[in-house]
Amino acid sequence: MPEANYSKGEIMAAAGAREIKDGQNIVVGLGLPQVAALLAKNTHAPNISMINEQGVVGFSPVDPAVGMADPRMWYKATYFNSFIGTLGSFLHRGKVDIGFLGALEVDQFGNMNSTMVGGPGNTIRHFTGSGGANDIASLAKNIMIIMRHEKRKLRAAVQYITSPGYLGEGNLRQSTGLKGGGPWRVITDKAVLGFDRARGRMKLLSIHPGVELDDVLENTGFELLRDEQLPATVPPTAEELKLLREVIDPTGMYI
Amino acid sequence: MPEANYSKGEIMAAAGAREIKDGQNIVVGLGLPQVAALLAKNTHAPNISMINEQGVVGFSPVDPAVGMADPRMWYKATYFNSFIGTLGSFLHRGKVDIGFLGALEVDQFGNMNSTMVGGPGNTIRHFTGSGGANDIASLAKNIMIIMRHEKRKLRAAVQYITSPGYLGEGNLRQSTGLKGGGPWRVITDKAVLGFDRARGRMKLLSIHPGVELDDVLENTGFELLRDEQLPATVPPTAEELKLLREVIDPTGMYI
Amino acid sequence: MVKLNKIRSLSEAVASVRDGSHLFLSGFAISRNAIAVAHELIRQNKRELTLSQCIGAMDADLLVGAGAVKRYIYGGGSLDRFGPLWNINRAIEQGAIEVDEFSGLSMALRFLGGSLGLPCIPIQSLLGSDILKNLLNKEVPEVKVTECPFTGEKMVLLKTLQPDVAFVHVQKADCTGNAIIQGPRWDEDAAKAADQIVIVADEIIPTELTPFLVEEVRIPAGRVSMVVHQPYGAHPTSLYGVYDYDREHLTEYASMARTPDGMQEYLDRYVRGVKDFSAYLEAVGGLEKMIRIKADALKKY
Amino acid sequence: MVKLNKIRSLSEAVASVRDGSHLFLSGFAISRNAIAVAHELIRQNKRELTLSQCIGAMDADLLVGAGAVKRYIYGGGSLDRFGPLWNINRAIEQGAIEVDEFSGLSMALRFLGGSLGLPCIPIQSLLGSDILKNLLNKEVPEVKVTECPFTGEKMVLLKTLQPDVAFVHVQKADCTGNAIIQGPRWDEDAAKAADQIVIVADEIIPTELTPFLVEEVRIPAGRVSMVVHQPYGAHPTSLYGVYDYDREHLTEYASMARTPDGMQEYLDRYVRGVKDFSAYLEAVGGLEKMIRIKADALKKY
């Protein structure tokens, strides 16, 4: 296995960016989602609208930010409003093509937990909660999750459903009344995963160069659907790496 | 009877202005309502917020306008929004003290018609309809109507209830679920009328100087409640007349 | 970076409208009407349209007068002191169009709910009125009197509205669709309720400028399908800060619209009988008129 | 013309809050927090408060850490990369406060509905989640799963929220209460949902200037009860266009709030142990610090 000349963050950003089509409306959060979206915007998708849930649209950050509430994320925004102007008249109106989400845990049905995990004894540890995540998971046409590939994070069942995926096998999501399309991609540091949307289950789509299939399977807490032939994830191009390193994240804060 | 040194419009404006308290939120339309509110603002109530239903607040017009859609009405506004920002977050939120309304017809319960009247045969004539009038009548704490005193306009029953008053005798308005306080004053060119709010019926409060009681009663299409002692409406003061003629409506467009 | 260019000609944008569509036009009485759009819809002979507006305006009155409208959903309206909406009132009196008549706020809430993708929204006006009685008597109910399950209060539940296309005349927009509306914006939620938004801008600004005017951007590019550049496209209604209403022409319109024959003559003279909106602008006084109605920089009218 | 002067001191404005009130504070994570208000509420030892926010922020975390909060209604939150809301998470883990946890949009719609005086409003997220399951299990229901009577779609009906008092930190306001918010305004509807609005402005502008800035006025005077002039009142969180967040102090806060003892030490050092907000500003670095975090005119941070 040749040593790759790119980092895990870089192939994740590149894989995420390639899933984005020009002209789409995309809700992004801090970190790799934003990096992936900016990479797409700087290459094949210059006309995407990036949306920040609390009311910022069309921004073009030039300095690394510490979160969505950091005005660095709002630089050169072309629209300010409130949650109502983003999660309302974009998302609930059915006009968000891709919602990026992170989570503490994701399960085989794409359900996500960002609220709490059990601690020692009967205790719980409480985390960030939903923010807009539940709404985005419920209502966006496609959900893209970017996360580390670890068995404790990719679980058979999450401990708390903060943000619904397919909820369970079959058409449970639709019968529950959820209008968005549901989970669509999970980009990890080992693979690109997708979903069999009819069955509501996670499926392995490609493995990053240099990663073994067993490594993926062992670090996943449930059985992944997969085709017999598994392609390798296309690695980042020289142009993409140059953009990532020199323009989008020059201080290496996220990648 | 001494010849009055003021016009009917001037005593109507002055009588309307005196009903306004400082600091109130007031929805006004074109014409005498606006003149009355501006007179109050220029005298004892400098801190009222005047509200225009389509999304304009805090305006100070200096030129006569042809209607609410005329930007002359919006001059020096301090807030722009939409119907939602005026009829929503002021009116429906319960924060409008006085709503001024006009109407084709008003009945003894303060119900108002601005939609249609019967024509010859079985025909109807269709007019302006509600605009914000139904909402204002339903939700403002107090409704003030300024109109000409004619038997065909002050009727026992209106032909169409565009904007609800007390609907009928007794507490029908409350049991219908309407949250605003209902009709409160009707200022005509002959008298100031109010309501017995418990009974929901119109009541004569004062008669303009020079007008006979019989003149009022004959030109009202229903029986008016009244106390035995009826005061005369206080005529406009010299200061009020000066303001009306020189500052508020110098071209005499409305008064 | 290449920016998506959504600029289309007025005729291209209007050609995308299918007969039978539900349209929203941005007019309120005599202000910021989508007049150029109404003209082009008439010239392209679009039929069986449904129109919805919070408050009826000249743009809708033109379309009703031209026989293009099947159904009109609105909350009342007029041409302010220039007169009533003659064509709309006449069509209602004669039963020539289907009309759903609401109040200003109930229309505004139906659009707000539609802009948020909510299926329904409550209101606490309308109760006790003949407006509500008429609506409840209709075969296709879009209103329902009910109680709040939490407070027990009576309320009217309204079905929300989502027009197929909104045509919104604005002061400025960039070519990606970021639209600046100055002054009151009665039409902002209705625009966002629509499935497709077509911005008609009196002025196109460079995208580099948009971030500096961000506080005045009311409709974001991500919701906009097309941008039409049409100077004076709201004439003879006013465009706050850009031009005043044309008193002379509104008086002429209100006088001709008073009768069916007069209205047809108006349409022949100013809409059907002219090649395009530029020819209309010439017919109503051209450059000299436009200079005369230019807005004062301070007063904005 | 005399203009109503609603200017009050911070301590007067906060003194008007009754124990047990339901308050809204304008913070979102580490931006535009009502920090000066939170400090003064703590110094005046207000108790048993209910707080509600779309997204939890430092202002709420301070109040929970000081033991002033009985119930917190919110949609999740953090201090961005400075860390979690230590006090809030700890209080939830220990059952020390009542918590109603929603999502960002469901809180936003509850406030929007409250701002319009609607008793309830529907939403179509939450379905299928444990957030909804937890809320339905509560004794006082504020959510109900139902169907739209027009479309048959499933929806969650939410009881709307109307706080008693909203404290909203803004860039500029005039003395009558017209408040300018620049940048995103996650708090605009929540403010309008409240019965009383107290504007805390970093800068007071003359009323003569307001009409020229009208497009940026987000909360109108007619809805505002009091105006407090408090420069740097959002410190250490950022005020878009005025000052950046104070990285140094946020790091110190996040580190001290990590333990109950550390939090009490923080409160003693910076809140309870200082006379007023001016003394706090001196304690965190005074003029030199404020010059260092001044926002760049172009970048706005």
Taking an 8 Å cut-off on Cβ atoms, the answer to whether C124 and B75 are in contact is no
pTM over 0.95, yes/no: yes
List the beta bridge partners of residue B226. Answer: B204
Q: Which domains does chain A have, with CATH numbers?
A: 8-248 (3.40.1080.10)
Nearest C-alpha neighbor of A234 from the set A17, A1, A2: A17
- Residues of chain A in contact with residue C1, where contact means CB-CB under 8 angstroms, are 41-42, 46
Return residues 78-137 of D near B (CB < 8 Å).
Answer: 115-118
- Residues of chain D in contact with residue B23, where contact means CB-CB under 8 angstroms, are 4
Q: How far is B145 from chain C (nearest CA, A)?
A: 18
Structure-token match 């306009």, residue found? B153
Q: Quick: pLDDT tens for C276-299.
A: 999 999 999 999 999 999 999 999
Q: How many Å apart are CA B69 and CA B75, to the nearest integer?
A: 12
Question: How many Cβ atoms sit within 10 Å of the Cβ of residue B110?
Answer: 30
Phi, psi of D231 (to 5 degrees): -60, 140
The whole-number average pLDDT for the span D93-107 is: 97
Nearest C-alpha neighbor of A130 from the set D110, D99, D55: D55
* CB-CB contact of D26 with D18 (8 Å): no
Q: Quick: pLDDT tens for D52-71.
A: 999 999 999 999 999 999 99
Q: Which residue of D has its CA nearest to A92?
A: D124
pLDDT tens digits in sequence order for chain B, 255 residues long: 334 589 999 999 999 999 999 999 999 987 899 899 999 999 999 999 999 999 999 999 989 899 999 999 999 999 999 999 999 999 999 999 999 998 899 999 999 999 999 988 889 999 999 999 999 999 999 999 999 999 999 999 999 999 999 999 999 999 999 999 999 999 999 999 999 999 999 999 999 999 999 999 999 999 999 999 999 999 999 999 999 999 998 888 888
Say which of C118, C192, C221 has its CB closest to residue A78: C221
Say which of B25, B41, B84 has its CB closest to residue D222: B25
Say which of D2, D116, D220 has its CB closest to residue B58: D220
Taking an 8 Å cut-off on Cβ atoms, the answer to whether D182 and C215 are in contact is yes
Nearest C-alpha neighbor of B114 from the set B92, B137, B94: B137
Structure-token match 């008793």, residue found? D119
- pLDDT tier, D218 (very low <50, low <70, confident <90, very high otherwise): very high
ipTM above 0.95, yes or no: yes
List the beta bridge partners of residue C158. Answer: C121, C143
Nearest C-alpha neighbor of C116 from the set C14, C193, C44, C185: C193
Percent of chain C with pLDDT over 70: 98
Query: Which one of the listed residues B10, B19, B53, B218 is annotated catalytic?
Result: B53
Interface contact C31, partner B, CB < 8 A: yes
Taking an 8 Å cut-off on Cβ atoms, the answer to whether B160 and C130 are in contact is yes
Say which of C115, C117, C220 has its CB closest to residue A58: C220
From residue B36, alpha-carbon distances to B48, B114, C6, D59 in Å are 12, 21, 48, 45
Judged by 3 or more CB pairs under 8 A, whether A touches C is: yes
Interface contact C157, partner D, CB < 8 A: yes
Four-point Cα dihedral A129, A131, A136, A137, nearest 10:
0
Q: Which domains does chain C have, with CATH numbers?
A: 17-104+162-172+179-205+223-236+243-292 (3.40.1080.10), 120-159 (no CATH)
Q: Which residue of A has its CA nearest to D110?
A: A84
Does A53 qualify as catalytic in the annotation?
Answer: yes
Q: How far is A109 from chain D (nearest CA, A)?
A: 13
Question: How many Cβ atoms sit within 10 Å of the Cβ of residue A199?
Answer: 14
Structure-token match 């739209």, residue found? D148
Average pLDDT, chain A: 94
Grouping H, G, I as helix, E, B as strand and the rest as coil, residue C99 is strand
Query: Which one of the listed residues A53, A150, A212, A239 is annotated catalytic?
Result: A53
Q: Quick: pLDDT tens for B170-204.
A: 999 999 999 999 999 999 999 999 999 999 999 99
- Residues of chain D in contact with residue C159, where contact means CB-CB under 8 angstroms, are 150-151
Helix H or strand E segment including B112: strand B112-113
Return residues 165-184 of C near B (CB < 8 Å).
Answer: 182-184
* CB-CB contact of A43 with A248 (8 Å): no
Least confident of A34-43, A246-255, C73-82, C101-110: A246-255
> For C292, how many CA atoms within 13 A lie in the half-sphere containing its CB?
13
- pLDDT tier, D2 (very low <50, low <70, confident <90, very high otherwise): low
Phi, psi of C46 (to 5 degrees): -70, 145
Q: How many Å apart are CA C112 and CA A57, to the nearest integer?
A: 20
Phi, psi of D80 (to 5 degrees): 50, -145
Return residues 223-252 of D near B (CB < 8 Å).
Answer: 223
Task: Note the pLDDT of residue A3.
Answer: 41
Four-point Cα dihedral C197, C201, C206, C207, nearest 10:
-20
Interface contact D209, partner B, CB < 8 A: no
Mutate to test the interface with D, among C110, C111, C118, C123 (most CBs of D within 10 A): C118
Say which of D120, D141, D150 has its CB closest to residue C148: D120
- Outline where DSSP puts E strands in B208-250: 225-226
Phi, psi of A95 (to 5 degrees): -110, 20
Burial of A76 (0-12, 13-18, 19+ CB in 10 A): middle
* CB-CB contact of A55 with A127 (8 Å): no
Question: How many Cβ atoms sit within 10 Å of the Cβ of residue A229?
Answer: 5
Say which of D116, D192, D217 has its CB closest to residue B78: D217
Q: How far is D298 from chain C (nearest CA, A)?
A: 9
Burial of D297 (0-12, 13-18, 19+ CB in 10 A): exposed
- Residues of chain C in contact with residue D120, where contact means CB-CB under 8 angstroms, are 122, 148-151, 155
Chains that touch D (3 or more CB pairs under 8 A): A, B, C
Q: How many Å apart are CA C8 and CA C27, to the nearest integer?
A: 21
Q: How far is B140 from chain D (nearest CA, A)?
A: 12
Q: Quick: pLDDT tens for A147-196.
A: 999 999 999 999 999 999 999 999 999 999 999 999 999 999 999 999 99
Interface contact C152, partner B, CB < 8 A: no
Distance of CA C121 to the CA centre of its chain: 22
pLDDT of A211 higher than 80: yes
Query: Which are the contacts of C163, defined by CB distance < 8 A and separation ≥ 6?
Result: C22, C23, C24, C50, C52, C114, C190, C193, C194, C195
List the beta bridge partners of residue B195. Answer: B202
- pLDDT tier, A253 (very low <50, low <70, confident <90, very high otherwise): confident
- pLDDT tier, A255 (very low <50, low <70, confident <90, very high otherwise): confident
Structure-token match 């939403």, residue found? D123
- Residues of chain D in contact with residue A177, where contact means CB-CB under 8 angstroms, are 124, 127-128, 153-155
Interface contact C116, partner D, CB < 8 A: yes
